[in-house]
Amino acid sequence: MTRPASRGLPAPCPPASHAPLSPVRRALLGGGLLACAIPAAASSGMRVLRLSHVVAPNTPKGQALEHFAQLVERYSQGRIRVQIYPQSTLYGDADEVQALQFGAVHFIAPSLSKFGRMGLPEFELFDLPYAFDSLEQVRRVMDGVPGQLLLERLQRNGVHGLGYLHNGFKHMSAQHALLTPNDYLGLRMRIQPSRVLADQMQALGASPVALSFGETYPALQRKVVDGTENTASNFWTQKLQRVQSDLSLTGHGYLGYAVVTQQRFWENLPNNERALLDQAMRDALQWGNTLALEHERSSLQALRGTTALRVHTPGAAQTQALRRALLPVRQQLAQRIGSVWMDLLTEALHS
Ligand code: LMR
């Protein structure tokens, strides 16, 4: 992964991307705004910061980050503004980390499953199937030793971790019910780019296909993939019910985020502004982390009300069979990152 430009030098222009440019990004490039490092201070003296993410505004992440923007405006009495680009309109999964490192955007909030490809596979602890029974257990791991060590590790990539944010638990979808391991045989399943998620699908007899979030709907629509996993709120807000006929409420895995900024930008901020942004982010994440369960409830209710979608709930024996089939995934991760991380996970879960 490319290191950011050295201190004092202007950050270089983002490299040309082969991905189609989003309308906003095209407009910005056309206007020369992204031609080089983005000045955080506008000529009026007001600081404008950019925040990019890939999901819809009416999701736990979308709302928490919007709340952050509001708090920043309030705490700074209008001197600092956070401009939010949702739904991959500025950067998508493929280029947002690089955009952050080049200083083209100030904050991003990738899912924890997307940090493995930054050379930090320990983040994939959060992807382990059936590792958490509740969001309270996830919180213990985030607030505990493993969660805090992981945030520190981001610095190896010139990135500063500001905190964690929940989405919720993922379910499986396809064109038939996915309740036992046999149901997955031969399916091509879209996953986020995580080795643990790839191992998970393979353990169930499916072929994992890593695609960015923005590519998921069209890939399902064109039948490039047969199914996927995601939370109810992502499923509903991306309208995946239009391209999938069956949703199985497996709740097998967790989806959450780390909100991050560029370390060099963060360290170079005046102390009072850094403290203000830090406080606004803490408050926004605390508020945002109370939203996940309500989003899960309302999105599931909306999905259940969709006549074209069949919603299934696995029975206890079916869940047991899925859990058994997925046991090797834990061992595979332990071999890659070291069993000490598994011990840290277990300790934090029972703390
Ligand atoms: C996904 O790619 O499915 C999720 O990471 C999207 C998100 O940010 O919730």
110 vs 261: CA distance, rounded Å: 11
pLDDT in tens, the chain (351 residues): 333 333 222 233 333 333 344 444 443 333 333 433 444 555 568 999 999 999 999 999 999 999 999 999 999 999 999 999 999 999 999 999 999 999 999 999 999 999 999 999 999 999 999 999 999 999 999 999 999 999 999 999 999 999 999 999 999 999 999 999 999 999 999 999 999 999 999 999 999 999 999 999 999 999 999 999 999 999 999 999 999 999 999 999 999 999 999 999 999 999 999 999 999 999 999 999 999 999 999 999 999 999 999 999 999 999 999 999 999 999 999 999 999 999 999 999 998
Q: In this structure, which amino acid lies at residue 35?
A: A
Question: Closest by alpha carbon to 144, among 126, 120, 118?
Answer: 126
Q: Are 166 and 55 in contact (CB under 8 A)?
A: no
Task: Give yes or no for residue 192 CB within 6 A of ligand 1.
Answer: yes
Out of 192, 254, 259, 295, mutate this one to test ligand 1's pocket (max ligand atoms within 8 Å of CB): namely 192
Q: Which helix (H) or strand (E) holds 259?
A: strand 246-262
What residue type is 218 in one-letter code?
Answer: P
CA distance 4 to 300: 42
Instruction: Indicate if ligand 1 lies below 6 Å from the C-beta of 230.
Output: yes
CB 111 less than 6 A from any atom of ligand 1: yes
Could you tell me if 348 and 140 are in contact, meaning their C-beta atoms sit under 8 angstroms apart?
A: yes
First-to-last C-alpha distance (Å) of the chain: 35
Number of residues assigned to the chain: 351
Cα 346 to middle of ligand 1, angstroms: 26
DSSP for 142-171 reads HHSHHHHHHHHHGGGGTEEEEEEEEEEEEE
Residue with tokens 């047991």: 320
* Closest C-alpha to 225, from 206, 199, 242: 206
Query: pTM for this one?
Result: 0.88
**Residue closest by Cα to atom 2 of ligand 1:** 213
**Which of 96, 230, 235 most suits a substitution to test ligand 1, by most atoms within 8 Å of the C-beta?**
230
* Residue 52 CB–ligand 1 contact under 6 Å: no
Cα 76 to ligand 1 centroid, rounded to whole Å: 31
Cβ(218)–Cβ(242) below 8 Å: no
Q: What is the CA radius of gyration of the chain?
A: 20
273 C-alpha vs ligand 1 centroid, how far in Å?
Answer: 30
